[in-house]
């Protein structure tokens, strides 16, 4: 350690102090090792005890606190307060981060102290504690895995025929208050023929809601026609929706019915209705106002009897203000509304969905069902799910096919699901721009870098996404 001029004046006292600090740190490590080796305590009790013991290894223990965040749970010393200085070290297993250990000083060091807020030895101590916690957790996880395998050998696993039940209609899964509210709204929509606008992020199940409304209503025996407006080229949207007559354009060799004619007497579901251009919006408005359609190339209108359900992942009212969506069409669509909650706000519904998808993919892959550890389930509940239910379904499918064993622990999940950093009490706050860029990064990680899919989830175009990626790159380069 390099001594300051003041310390050079009293080298013996300085060396004695440094030795005392080193002894304190070694004693702290010894005690932490003893805590982790104590078979009389549970894992949670051990982690809490480590959080209580770690501050005593710091240079100024009376103003030091510690926080351990692993397994999507937080253990902190009893004196935890707003921090002035803090240092963190990741809990790593191989190349993956599963948590972090943070020590903080709740005040500035005492006057007259010439040492930095954290000595090099203190930084090394925190790093070593994080390393030992990683080894301890890996040992505990392997022990649990072995126990599960032994249980399977003693009692052969029987394939689940059905996942845990749900009262949701048309395959909707979830018992959370948010989903119960959705079910009540669906029941009310089934009693009328009014237009319904379903709003929710990509992957939340908007089409399932539309199907539930159709098959629960008076038109259930008639066709249900789903249309993804975003997937139809802009030049073809009108002809696909309303049909065309022979000779309407080059290549129109015969008259062809559109989606509205196909749905006659039933329901048409216009998904991502915000993607329609203004010309098609005007024609859709005429359908809603007059219940009639005009095929491309025809000068005659035809009466139609179709219930319209629409869905979007964007703020239509905001698009109206921006001049990108017709206000009169918005009010025609906005008769009944159903807001679907994102998966991250549905709590324990994640576990119900896991059971449902495990049962489905077990049947389809003809394999033994996956068994998730409590840690893995906690990680899934804590994850932000930018791709929502669809992302969870894809994850279970991938694990069902690619997993080396049927027991799924936290390290079998994708990296972004391992650990969700918490904002430390009193820690630095992010700007709005930083929050936006971090969310863009999480979405890209979730869709494995697929920019088109990420742009759809974020509700922006690819050009805007490119600008945000450039901003991320610029931030990382600074």
What CATH number does residue 326 fall under? Answer: 3.40.50.300
Domain identity same for 204 and 253: yes
Domain identity same for 333 and 362: no
In-domain check, residue 168? no
Domain identity same for 263 and 277: yes
What CATH number does residue 70 fall under? Answer: 3.30.450.40
Indicate the pairing of strand 292-293 with strand 302-303.
antiparallel
Domain identity same for 194 and 308: yes
In-domain check, residue 458? yes
Domain identity same for 29 and 116: yes
Last residue of a domain, one of 154, 187, 209: 154
Residues 242 and 384: their CA atoms lie apart, in Å, by 39
Last residue of a domain, one of 290, 323, 340: 340
Domain identity same for 330 and 353: no
In-domain check, residue 287? yes
Domain identity same for 375 and 334: no
Domain identity same for 295 and 355: no
pLDDT score recorded for residue 424: 44
Domain identity same for 186 and 224: yes
pLDDT score recorded for residue 106: 84
Query: What's the chain's length in residues?
Result: 478
Structural domain range at position 453: 345-477
pLDDT score recorded for residue 114: 52
Domain identity same for 183 and 57: no
Residues 278 and 195: their CA atoms lie apart, in Å, by 20
Cα 41 off chain centre by? 33
In-domain check, residue 427? yes
Domain identity same for 230 and 355: no
Residues 417 and 413: their CA atoms lie apart, in Å, by 6
In-domain check, residue 69? yes
Q: What is the pLDDT along the chain (478 residues), one digit of tens a residue?
A: 444 444 455 565 656 656 777 788 888 999 999 999 888 888 889 999 999 999 988 888 888 899 999 877 889 987 666 777 888 888 887 777 888 999 988 887 776 555 567 778 888 899 999 999 988 888 887 777 666 655 655 444 444 444 444 557 777 999 999 999 999 999 999 999 999 999 999 999 999 999 999 999 999 999 999 999 988 888 888 888 988 888 878 878 888 888 999 999 999 999 999 999 888 899 899 899 988 888 888 888 889 999 999 999 999 999 999 999 999 999 999 999 999 999 999 998 999 999 999 999 999 988 889 999 888 998 999 899 999 999 999 999 999 999 888 889 888 898 888 876 655 444 445 567 767 777 787 777 666 677 887 787 777 888 888 887 777 666 544 4
Domain identity same for 246 and 357: no
Last residue of a domain, one of 311, 340, 369: 340
**Helix 451-458 to helix 462-477 angle, to the nearest 10 degrees?**
100
* Backbone φ, ψ for residue 94 (5° rounding): 60, -125
In-domain check, residue 314? yes
In-domain check, residue 388? yes
pLDDT score recorded for residue 118: 79
Q: For 111-115, which contacts have Cβ atoms below 8 Å and span 24 or more sequence positions?
A: 113/60, 114/4, 114/6, 114/7, 115/59
In 3-state terms, what secondary structure has residue 151? helix
In-domain check, residue 167? no
What CATH number does residue 441 fall under? Answer: 1.10.8.60
Residues 173 and 169: their CA atoms lie apart, in Å, by 8
Number of domains in the chain: 3
Residues 132 and 99: their CA atoms lie apart, in Å, by 12
Decide if 434 contacts 468 (C-beta within 8 A).
no
Q: Which residue in this structure is represented by tokens 């032994």?
A: 150
């Amino acid at each position: 350690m390099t001594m300051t001029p003041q310390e050079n004046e009293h080298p013996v006292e300085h060396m004695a102090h440094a030795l005392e600090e080193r002894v304190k740190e070694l004693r702290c490590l010894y005690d932490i090792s003893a805590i982790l080796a104590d078979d009389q305590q549970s894992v949670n009790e051990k982690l809490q005890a480590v959080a209580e013991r770690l501050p005593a290894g710091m240079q100024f223990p009376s103003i030091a606190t510690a926080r351990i965040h692993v397994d999507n749970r937080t253990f902190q010393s009893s004196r935890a307060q707003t921090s002035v200085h803090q240092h963190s070290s990741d809990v790593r297993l191989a190349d993956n981060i599963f948590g972090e250990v943070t020590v903080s000083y709740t005040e500035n060091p005492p006057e007259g102290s010439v040492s930095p807020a954290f000595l090099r030895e203190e930084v090394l101590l925190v790093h070593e504690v994080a390393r030992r916690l990683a080894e301890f957790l890996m040992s505990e996880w392997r022990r649990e895995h072995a126990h599960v395998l032994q249980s399977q050998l003693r009692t052969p696993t029987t394939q689940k025929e059905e996942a845990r039940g749900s009262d949701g209609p048309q395959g909707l899964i979830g018992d959370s208050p948010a989903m119960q509210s959705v079910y009540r709204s669906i029941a009310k929509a089934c009693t009328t023929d009014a237009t319904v606008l379903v709003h929710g992020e990509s992957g939340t199940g908007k089409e399932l809601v539309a199907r539930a409304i159709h098959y629960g209503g008076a038109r259930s025996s008639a066709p249900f026609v789903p249309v993804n407006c975003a997937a139809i080229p802009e030049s073809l949207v009108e002809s696909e929706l309303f049909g065309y007559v022979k000779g309407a354009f080059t290549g129109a060799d015969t008259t062809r019915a559109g989606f509205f004619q196909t749905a006659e007497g039933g329901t048409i579901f216009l998904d991502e209705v915000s993607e329609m251009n203004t010309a098609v919006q005007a024609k859709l408005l005429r359908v809603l106002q007059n219940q009639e359609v005009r095929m491309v190339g025809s000068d005659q209108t035809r009466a139609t009897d179709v219930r319209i359900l629409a869905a979007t992942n964007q703020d239509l009212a905001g698009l109206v203000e921006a001049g990108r969506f017709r206000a009169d069409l918005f009010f025609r669509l906005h008769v009944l509304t159903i807001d679907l909650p994102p998966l991250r706000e549905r709590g324990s519904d994640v576990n119900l969905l896991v059971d449902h998808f495990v049962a489905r993919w077990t049947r389809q892959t003809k394999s033994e069902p996956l068994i998730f550890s409590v840690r893995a389930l906690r990680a899934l509940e804590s994850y932000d799910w930018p791709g929502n239910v669809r992302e969870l379904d894809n994850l279970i499918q991938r694990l069902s096919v690619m997993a080396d064993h049927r027991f799924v622990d936290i390290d079998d999940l994708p990296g972004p699901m391992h650990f969700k950093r918490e904002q430390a009490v009193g820690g630095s706050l992010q700007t709005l721009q930083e929050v936006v860029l971090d969310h863009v990064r999480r979405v890209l990680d979730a869709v494995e870098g697929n920019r088109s899919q990420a742009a759809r989830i974020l509700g922006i175009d690819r050009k805007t996404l490119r600008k945000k990626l450039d901003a991320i790159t610029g931030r990382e380069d600074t």
